[in-house]
Structure 1
Amino acid sequence: MISRLEWSRALNWCARSEHRLTAAMIPHAVLLSLLLTSTAAVPARSPTREERSLPGKDLDIYSYHIRSDVGSRYAMTVITSRVANRANHSREVSFHVELPKNAFISKFSMNIEGRVYDGVVKKKEEAQEQYTRAVSRGQSAGLVSAVGRSLEEFKTSVTVAALSKVTFELTYEELLKRKLGKYELLIKARPTQVVKDFKIDVHIYETQGISFLDTKGGLVSKGLDGALNTTLTEKEAWVQFSPSQEQQQCVGCGKSGLDGDLLITYDVNRPQSKGDLQVSRGYFVHYFAPRGLPRIPKNVVFIIDRSGSMHGRKIEQTREALLKILGDIPEEDHFGLITFDDQVMPWKNDLVPATPDYLAAAKAFVKEIRDRGSTDINAALLEGVRMLNQVKETQPRRRTSSILILLTDGDPTSGVIDLRKIQANVKEAIGRRYTLYCLGFGFDVNYDFLEKMSLENEGVARRIYSDSDAALQLQGFYEEVATPLLLDVQLNYTGASNLTLTSFGQYYKGSEIVVAGQVIDNNLETLTAEITANSKSEEMTFHSNVNSEIMNFYIYEMYIQRLWAYLTVQQLLDRAVLLQGEEQKMVRDQALALALKYSFVTTLTSMVVTKPEGENTQVAHKPKEGKHPTARAGLPVMHGMAAPGGPPVMHGMAAPGGHVPGMQGLPGPPVMHPGMAMRPAFPNFFGSRPGRMQPDQIEMDMDADLVVDSADMHYDDYVSATHISFTTAHHTTVAPTAPTDSQSLRLLLPAQGQMAPLCYELDVPGEPIFSLLEDRNTGLSITGQIGGAARKRFRKMGLHFGQEWHIVVNTTFISFTHKQKTDLYAWAQFPINVQSNSVSLFGRGSELQVTVGMMHILILLHQQGGDHFLWPDVRQQPPGSHATGLMGRLHVEYEVKQMAPVVELQIQGQVVPATKVSTVDYRTLSMPTVHCWLISYHSLLQGELSSLVVSQL
Structure 2
Amino acid sequence: MLLLALSLLLAAVSSVPVQKEEQKDHGIDIYSFHIKSEVRSRYAMTVITSRVANLANESREVNFHVEMPKHAFISNFSMTMDGQTYNGVVKKKAEAQQQYDKAVSRGQSAGLVSSVGRTLEEFTTSVTVAAHKKVTFELTYEQLLKRRLGQYELLIKAKPTQVVKDFKIDVHIRERQGIRFLDTRGELVSTELSKVVNTTLSEKEARVLFAPTRQQQRQCPGCGADGLSGDLLIVYDVNRPKTKGDLQISQGYFVHYFAPTDVNRTSKNVVFIIDQSGSMHGRKIEQTREALLKILDDVPEDDHFALITFDSTVRSWKPQLVRATPDNLEAARSFVRKIQDLGATDINAAVLEGVRMLKVFTDGQKTNKTASILILLTDGDPTSGVTNLDTIRANVKEAIGRKYTLYCLGFGFDVNYEFLEKMALQNDGVGRRIYPDSDAALQLQGFYEEVATPLLSDVEMNYAGVSDVTQTTFSQYYNGSEIVVAGHVTDNELETLRAVVKGYSEGNEVKYEDASSKNDDATDAYISDVYIQRLWAYLTVQQLLEKEVLLSGSDKEAIRERALNLSLKYSFVTPLTSMVVTKPEGDKSQVLHKPKEGKPGSKETSNMRRGFRPQTLPDAGGISHRMVGPSYKSRVSMPNRNPLGERGLPGPPGYPRYMGIRPPDPHARLHHSPPQIAMHIDYMDSPLVKLADVTGVVDYDNLATHVPHDTDADYGIWATRTPAPESGRTLRIVLPAAGQNIPLCFDVPVPYRLTYKLLEDSAAGLLVLGQVGVARHKDFQQLSIRTKDGGNVTVDTSHIQLSKGQQKKLLSWHQSSARHQSNRLSLLKQDHVLEVTVGGTRIDILLHKEGQEHFLWPAVKERPLGSSATGLMEQHRVSYEEKQVSPSVTLEIQGHQTVAQRNSATDYSAPSRPTVSCWLVPHHSVVQGELSSLTVREP
Q: Secondary structure at the match of 2:583?
A: coil
In structure 2, distance between residues paired with 1:55 and 1:541: 62
> Residues 59, 649 of structure 1: CA spacing in aligned structure 2 closer, same or farther, 3 A cutoff?
farther
Query: 2:410–2:417: 8 Å Cα contact kept in structure 1?
Result: yes
Corresponding residue of 2:383: 413
Q: Secondary structure at the match of 2:590?
A: strand
2:377 is equivalent to residue 399 of structure 1: no
Query: 1:307–1:342: 8 Å Cα contact kept in structure 2?
Result: yes
Spell out the pairing of 1:485-884 with structure 2 (5 A cutoff): 485-546=455-516, 548-553=520-525, 555-611=527-583, 613-614=585-586, 617-626=589-598, 629-630=601-602
Q: Secondary structure at the match of 1:138?
A: coil
In structure 2, distance between residues paired with 1:559 and 1:520: 18
Q: What amino acid does structure 1 have at the position aligned with 2:558?
A: M
2:63 is equivalent to residue 107 of structure 1: no
> Residues 131, 79 of structure 1: CA spacing in aligned structure 2 closer, same or farther, 3 A cutoff?
same
RMSD of aligned alpha carbons: 2.4
> Residues 523, 147 of structure 1: CA spacing in aligned structure 2 closer, same or farther, 3 A cutoff?
farther
2:51 is equivalent to residue 82 of structure 1: yes
Q: How many residues align?
A: 589
Query: 2:601–2:741: 8 Å Cα contact kept in structure 1?
Result: no
Quote how far apart the aligned CAs of 1:616 are.
Answer: 5.0
2:134 is equivalent to residue 165 of structure 1: yes
Q: Secondary structure at the match of 1:476?
A: helix
Q: Secondary structure at the match of 1:370?
A: coil
Q: What amino acid does structure 1 have at the position aligned with 2:328?
A: Y
Q: Secondary structure at the match of 1:325?
A: helix
Q: What amino acid does structure 2 have at the position aligned with 1:619?
A: V
Query: 2:186–2:232: 8 Å Cα contact kept in structure 1?
Result: yes
> Residues 651, 466 of structure 1: CA spacing in aligned structure 2 closer, same or farther, 3 A cutoff?
farther
Quote how far apart the aligned CAs of 1:226 are.
Answer: 1.6
Corresponding residue of 1:155: 124
Which residues of structure 1 form unaligned runs of 5+? 1-51, 633-645, 654-953
Query: 1:142–1:648: 8 Å Cα contact kept in structure 2?
Result: no
Quote how far apart the aligned CAs of 1:499 are.
Answer: 1.1
Corresponding residue of 2:861: none
> Residues 341, 438 of structure 1: CA spacing in aligned structure 2 closer, same or farther, 3 A cutoff?
same
Quote how far apart the aligned CAs of 1:562 are.
Answer: 1.6
Q: What amino acid does structure 2 have at the position aligned with 1:372?
A: L
2:96 is equivalent to residue 127 of structure 1: yes
TM-score by length of 2: 0.61
Corresponding residue of 1:796: none
Cα offsets for 1:746-788 (capped at 9, x unmatched): xxxxxxxxxxxxxxxxxxxxxxxxxxxxxxxxxxxxxxxxxxx
Q: Secondary structure at the match of 1:521?
A: coil
Q: Secondary structure at the match of 1:201?
A: strand
2:204 is equivalent to residue 235 of structure 1: yes
Quote how far apart the aligned CAs of 1:613 are.
Answer: 3.8
TM-score by length of 1: 0.60
Corresponding residue of 1:91: 60
2:254 is equivalent to residue 297 of structure 1: no
Corresponding residue of 2:414: 444
Quote how far apart the aligned CAs of 1:316 are.
Answer: 0.7
Query: 2:188–2:230: 8 Å Cα contact kept in structure 1?
Result: yes
Quote how far apart the aligned CAs of 1:397 are.
Answer: 1.8
In structure 1, distance between residues paired with 2:541 and 2:76: 18
Query: 2:176–2:526: 8 Å Cα contact kept in structure 1?
Result: no
In structure 1, distance between residues paired with 2:435 and 2:360: 34
Quote how far apart the aligned CAs of 1:71 are.
Answer: 1.1
In structure 2, distance between residues paired with 1:473 and 1:109: 37
In structure 1, distance between residues paired with 2:63 and 2:486: 39
Query: 2:175–2:526: 8 Å Cα contact kept in structure 1?
Result: no
Q: What amino acid does structure 1 have at the position aligned with 2:55?
A: R
Quote how far apart the aligned CAs of 1:134 are.
Answer: 2.4
Cα offsets for 1:905-938 (capped at 9, x unmatched): xxxxxxxxxxxxxxxxxxxxxxxxxxxxxxxxxx
Q: What amino acid does structure 2 have at the position aligned with 1:156?
A: T
Corresponding residue of 2:789: none
2:157 is equivalent to residue 191 of structure 1: no
In structure 2, distance between residues paired with 1:572 and 1:628: 20
> Residues 99, 649 of structure 1: CA spacing in aligned structure 2 closer, same or farther, 3 A cutoff?
farther
Q: Secondary structure at the match of 1:546?
A: strand
Matching residue within 258, 267, 271 for 2:237: 267
Quote how far apart the aligned CAs of 1:411 are.
Answer: 1.0
Matching residue within 388, 394, 399 for 1:424: 394
Query: 2:113–2:595: 8 Å Cα contact kept in structure 1?
Result: no
Cα offsets for 1:167-223 (capped at 9, x unmatched): 101111111111111111111222121101111111111111111001111222353
Corresponding residue of 2:227: 257
Q: What amino acid does structure 2 have at the position aligned with 1:624?
A: K
Query: 2:160–2:228: 8 Å Cα contact kept in structure 1?
Result: yes
In structure 2, distance between residues paired with 1:181 and 1:56: 46
Q: Secondary structure at the match of 2:135?
A: strand
Quote how far apart the aligned CAs of 1:606 are.
Answer: 1.0
Quote how far apart the aligned CAs of 1:566 are.
Answer: 2.1
Identity percentage of aligned residues:
68
Q: What amino acid does structure 1 have at the position aligned with 2:156?
A: I
Query: 2:116–2:602: 8 Å Cα contact kept in structure 1?
Result: no
Quote how far apart the aligned CAs of 1:549 are.
Answer: 4.0
Corresponding residue of 1:177: 146
Quote how far apart the aligned CAs of 1:394 are.
Answer: 0.9
Query: 1:154–1:651: 8 Å Cα contact kept in structure 2?
Result: no
Q: Secondary structure at the match of 1:223?
A: helix
Q: Secondary structure at the match of 1:296?
A: coil
Query: 1:154–1:650: 8 Å Cα contact kept in structure 2?
Result: no
In structure 1, distance between residues paired with 2:25 and 2:404: 57
Quote how far apart the aligned CAs of 1:626 are.
Answer: 2.9
> Residues 70, 594 of structure 1: CA spacing in aligned structure 2 closer, same or farther, 3 A cutoff?
same
Query: 1:492–1:529: 8 Å Cα contact kept in structure 2?
Result: yes
Spell out the pairing of 1:340-489 with structure 2 (5 A cutoff): 340-489=310-459
Quote how far apart the aligned CAs of 1:526 are.
Answer: 4.1
Q: Secondary structure at the match of 1:178?
A: coil
Quote how far apart the aligned CAs of 1:598 are.
Answer: 1.3
> Residues 579, 648 of structure 1: CA spacing in aligned structure 2 closer, same or farther, 3 A cutoff?
closer
Query: 1:293–1:535: 8 Å Cα contact kept in structure 2?
Result: yes
Q: What amino acid does structure 1 have at the position aligned with 2:227?
A: G
Cα offsets for 1:294-326 (capped at 9, x unmatched): 111101011111111111111111111000000
> Residues 170, 247 of structure 1: CA spacing in aligned structure 2 closer, same or farther, 3 A cutoff?
same
In structure 1, distance between residues paired with 2:493 and 2:458: 29
In structure 2, distance between residues paired with 1:428 and 1:163: 68
Query: 1:192–1:259: 8 Å Cα contact kept in structure 2?
Result: yes
In structure 1, distance between residues paired with 2:396 and 2:45: 41
Quote how far apart the aligned CAs of 1:572 are.
Answer: 2.1
In structure 2, distance between residues paired with 1:647 and 1:580: 31
Query: 1:436–1:454: 8 Å Cα contact kept in structure 2?
Result: yes
> Residues 649, 55 of structure 1: CA spacing in aligned structure 2 closer, same or farther, 3 A cutoff?
farther
Cα offsets for 1:139-190 (capped at 9, x unmatched): 3321223322232200001111111100101111111111111111111222
Matching residue within 41, 55, 67 for 1:72: 41
Spell out the pairing of 1:891-910 with structure 2 (5 A cutoff): none
In structure 2, distance between residues paired with 1:534 and 1:194: 56
Q: What amino acid does structure 2 have at the position aligned with 1:545?
A: A
Query: 1:569–1:594: 8 Å Cα contact kept in structure 2?
Result: yes
Corresponding residue of 2:824: none
In structure 1, distance between residues paired with 2:158 and 2:739: 18
> Residues 200, 54 of structure 1: CA spacing in aligned structure 2 closer, same or farther, 3 A cutoff?
closer
> Residues 630, 493 of structure 1: CA spacing in aligned structure 2 closer, same or farther, 3 A cutoff?
closer
Corresponding residue of 2:783: none
> Residues 647, 400 of structure 1: CA spacing in aligned structure 2 closer, same or farther, 3 A cutoff?
closer
